[in-house]
Structure 1
Amino acid sequence: MRSRMMGHGSALGGLLGLALIAGCSTKPAGLPSQQPIYEVYAVRYAMLPGYPTRELIAGADTSRRTDVAMFVWLLKGPGQRTVLVDAGFYREEFVRAAQPADYQRPSDALDSLGVSPASVTDIIISHVHWDHLGGADLFPNARVWIQRAEYEYYAVATPTRLNTRPSAPALERS
């Protein structure tokens, strides 16, 4: 008798689970029936070995170091829409200062995914540090997207403030 009750309980639980899944799979009201699908790729273009942790975390022990992987994010969308989140860096002054291992230009790192620099349609800049914005001009046809406050910070920056002003001509064209 007990096993039979368990069987019914399991069947009832299974039906409730299927109903819940079916309810979650219906589209919410007001949304189009077909959402665009994007493929998202993390593209590593460099590694900063033994990077001082205090440069990443305020108050960290000055003797601690960590390896930092450098990425740009690629979103391949419907049609010809190809979006980068951040653009990395490539200028010799930054490469020399950072001394990255396994370095390749962010534009070259996209080759493995069949993406040419000219085919990138948009770049979303998270913030104006040299390693996020410095490579934007490698992508000549991309429209650059940046938060207003971040752009205003950039626009008044002096060449010594995060070294951003001279490294981002792509912002001037967008």
Structure 2
Amino acid sequence: MTNAHRVYAIKYGHLERTARTNFIHPPGDHEAAMPMDYFLWLILCDSGRTIVVDTGYNARAARERGRTMLRHPAEGLARMGVDPRLVEDVVITHLHYDHAGNVDAFPKARFWLQEREMEFATGKYMCRDFFRLAYEREDIIGMVNALFDQRLEFVDGDAELEPGVTLHRVGGHTAGLQMVRVATQAGPVVLASDLFHYYANLELAQPFPIVYSPTELMDSFERAKAFVKDGGWLVPGHDPLVMKRFRPEPSDPEFTVRLWEPAG
């Protein structure tokens, strides 16, 4: 095995926002446009294994939350030759609505989730609106159903899913947020998910406002940087710049980029 996996960001949604909504303490012009893109990620392992990372939001959540669904996340996978009905491994970085919807589109999948995320999303803090606002009841029920169907794989901290594909709990944004580190021919690609929504959250050390533990999040910024200290890329969860910083996938250039090939 060469552990030269291929990893893609697949855009499926969009939201217009301003800078004031994307930082706890917004720098500069608070009213400057700072839109948000929504992604899922696809790992095609050199062993032939297919791993999907996150499942996006569904049409109902998009409608009720005022998000634009550019296309269903499953369509993006189909453009890459991946049938969600046949996918056997799905990593859920955390259980927020835009990362854990559409689980019914993956009827054969095992879902890899941090144990602490499930504990939090089914625990007493869901009685509080602030903590509950980014979760959807049906998504949590979907994970409970996967549990009883014996299709939920709990992760406690760090784990190796495949040689060259590892999971790492970082918390901060949620109690059990996990990153995915992927070995590629050009160096490691770290899918940071919502540890930082935008490159600017990390570069300015300015967290996104929805946060479970600001101190844990700031410490995790440093852990993420350590993963690429010798090269590679940290990929944020929602930054439109991802589509500009990496090379488009020829089969789906408007919506999908190759995260091991920088643009230019």
| TM-score, scaled to structure 1 | 0.68
After superposition, the CA RMSD in angstroms is 2.4
Gap regions ≥5 residues in structure 1: 1-33
CA 1:138–1:63: 2 relative to 1, 3 Å: same
Q: How many residues align?
A: 139
Which residue in the other structure is 1:55 paired with? 21
Alpha-carbon contact 1:107-1:117 (below 8 Å) kept = yes
Match of 2:5 among 24, 27, 38: 38
Larger relative contact order (Cα-Cα within 8 Å, sequence gap ≥ 6): 2
Are the aligned partners of 1:134 and 1:168 in contact in 2 as well (CA < 8 Å)? no
Q: Is 1:163 the equivalent of 2:135?
A: yes
What is the CA-CA distance between 1:77 and the residue it aligns to? 2.0
Higher helix share: 1
Preserved CA contact (<8 Å) 1:135 1:168: no
CA, structure 1 residues 159+88, in 2 after alignment: closer, same or farther (shift >3 Å)? Answer: farther
Residue identity matched to 1:152: E
Kept in 2: contact 1:123–1:136 (CA 8 A): no
- Verify the 8 A CA contact 1:137 1:169 in the aligned structure 2: no
Does residue 150 in structure 1 map to residue 117 in structure 2? yes
* Structure 2 letter corresponding to 1:123: V
- C-alpha separation between the residues in 1 aligned to 2:138 and 2:89? 21
Bigger radius of gyration among the two? 1
Query: C-alpha displacement at 1:109, in angstroms?
Result: 1.3
Unaligned runs of 5+ in 2: 147-151, 153-264
Say which structure is richer in strand.
2
- The one of 84, 87, 92 aligned to 2:60: 92
Residue 51 of structure 1 aligns to a residue whose secondary structure is: coil
| Residues 1:104 and 2:71 aligned together | yes
| CA deviation map 1:134-163 (0-9, x unaligned) | 233321111111111111111223595123
User: C-alpha displacement at 1:115, in angstroms?
Assistant: 0.7
